[in-house]
């Protein structure tokens, strides 16, 4: 079930305020603080899920990448720390198979039956099957990259957060704890 960004913020604020005496609550800034904490919390929850092999698949997204000279820029939401878990497909030729190689192994091209791909900072690099590694690279066209991605803040508050229910509940829980810590800390400064 999809959950809107506004609903996640409201749930976290409600949960964080539960049990806090009124004289220790910070002013009506709780929603603003929760919105500020959301990207940091979403990054942390996404990284924890990616670190768990049983949850990593919850973060996988399909990214259509257009290669020019064997390269394409990765989107900002790609969890580069877990890029080795990515898969690459050429949807116009499903007989071509690709395997991930760390950059030093990528440039030392091995078995040419398989295509290879790597990441160099924020750039996807691809060598097609039966091709040699050359500079510049020669692969072109569209590829489908399936890769773990971080949960992002949607453009509008009424939009749904693009995350499965299991991660949404983890996100609300983590945001609640972060918000509770910020609220009690700011309340302590006001006393």
Q: Where are the domains positioned within the chain?
A: 5-55+162-190, 59-148
Please give the torsion angle defined by the CA atoms of residues 122, 140, 83 and 166, in that order, rounded to the nearest 10 degrees. 110
Higher pLDDT, 82 or 188: 82
Give the pLDDT score at 186.
53
Give the pLDDT score at 190.
46
Binning pLDDT at 50, 70 and 90, where does residue 191 land?
Answer: very low
Model confidence pLDDT, tens digit, residues 29-81: 888 989 999 999 999 999 999 999 999 999 999 999 999 999 999 999 999 99
Model confidence pLDDT, tens digit, residues 119-159: 999 999 999 999 989 999 999 999 999 999 999 999 999 99
Binning pLDDT at 50, 70 and 90, where does residue 101 land?
Answer: very high
Binning pLDDT at 50, 70 and 90, where does residue 90 land?
Answer: very high
């Amino acid at each position: 079930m999809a959950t809107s960004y506004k609903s996640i913020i409201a749930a976290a604020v409600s949960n964080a305020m539960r049990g806090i005496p009124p004289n220790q609550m910070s002013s009506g800034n709780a929603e603003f603080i929760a919105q500020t904490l959301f990207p940091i919390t979403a990054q942390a929850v996404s990284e924890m899920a990616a670190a768990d092999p049983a949850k990593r698949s919850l973060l996988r997204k399909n990214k259509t990448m257009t290669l020019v000279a064997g390269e394409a820029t990765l989107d900002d939401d790609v969890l580069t720390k877990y890029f080795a878990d990515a898969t690459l497909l050429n949807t116009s030729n499903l007989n071509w198979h690709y395997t991930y190689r760390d950059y030093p192994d990528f440039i030392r091209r091995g078995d040419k039956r398989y295509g290879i791909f790597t990441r160099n900072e924020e750039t996807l690099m691809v060598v097609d099957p039966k091709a040699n590694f050359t500079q510049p690279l020669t692969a072109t066209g569209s590829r489908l990259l399936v890769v773990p991605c971080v949960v992002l803040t949607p453009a509008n508050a009424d939009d749904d957060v693009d995350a499965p229910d299991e991660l949404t509940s983890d996100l609300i829980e983590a945001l609640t704890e972060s918000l509770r810590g910020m609220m009690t800390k700011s309340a302590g400064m006001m006393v």
